[in-house]
Amino acid sequence: MLYMPFVPLYLFLTLPAMIFAMWAQHRVTSSFKKYSQQRTRNGITGAEAAREVLQHCGVHNVQVERVKGNLTDHFDPRTNVIHLSDSVYDSPSVAAAGIAAHEAGHAVQCVKAYTPMKLRAAIIPVTNIGSKLSIPLVILGMILEMTGLINIGILLFGVVVVFQLVTLPVEWNASRRAVTVLGESGVLHKDEIPATKKVLSAAALTYVGALAVSLAQLIRLISMSQRRRR
C-alpha cells in the first residue's frame, strides 16, 4: 500500500516522457536511414566531411578514426579523436556528412573552450557517480528510513539532470557549427543542407527525450521523499 499513491504520478510524468524518448529514438533512426540513401553530390564521405570541418575551423590536432557499430559516433576529448561508426566513416551520404561534421563540431568546441562544453566536462565525474548510486541510495534510505541517504540520492540524481540539461546547448551548438561549415566550405551543396539539418534535428530530440525522462524521475523521487516525511 505504501507505493500506491505514486502510481498516478508515475503514469502522468514518467510514461509520457518515456514515450517521447522512444519516439525521438525512432525518428533519428528513420531519418538517418532515409538520408543515408541520398549521396552527396561531390561524393564526400563522413570521414572526409569531418576532416574538412576541422581544417576549415583551424583545428589540426584531432584525428578521425573508425569505430564499430551503428550510430556509435562520438568525440573523445581525452584523446582528441573523433570516432565514426561503420555506417558513417566511409558513407558518401548527406546523413553521414552531417553526423561526422557534428562530431567535428564537438572537437571545435573543445579547442575553442566553449563554456557549456567545459561545464559538462567538469561535472562528468559526479555525474558518473550519480547515475550509478542515486537510485540505490534513495531506495536504501527509504528502507532504513534515513532521510539523509534519500537526500544524497536525490542530490546526485539532480546532478545527472543538470548534466543532461547542459548537454542540450552543447549538442545544438555542435550541429549549428556543422551545418554552417558544411555550407560555407562547399562540402555540401545548398540544396543538400536541409536533409542534413533534419538528421541532426532528429538526433537532438533524443537528448530532449532523455532529459524529459530524467526530469520526470527527479520530480517523482522528490514527491516520494516529501510524502514520507508527512
Active site residues: 103
The Cα–Cα gap between 35 and 45 comes to 13
Four-CA torsion 28, 34, 38, 40, nearest 10 degrees: 10
For 168, counting Cβ atoms within 10 Å of its Cβ (0-12 exposed, 13-18 middle, 19+ buried), the class is middle
112 grid coordinates: 575553442
Name 151's Cβ contacts closer than 8 Å, sequence gap at least 6.
Answer: 141, 225
With residues binned 3-state (H G I as helix, E B as strand, rest as coil), the percentages for the chain, rounded to 5, are: 75, 5, 20
For 29, the grid coordinates are 533512426
User: Measured at the alpha carbon of residue 224, what is the angle toward residues 23 and 163, in degrees to the nearest 5?
Assistant: 50
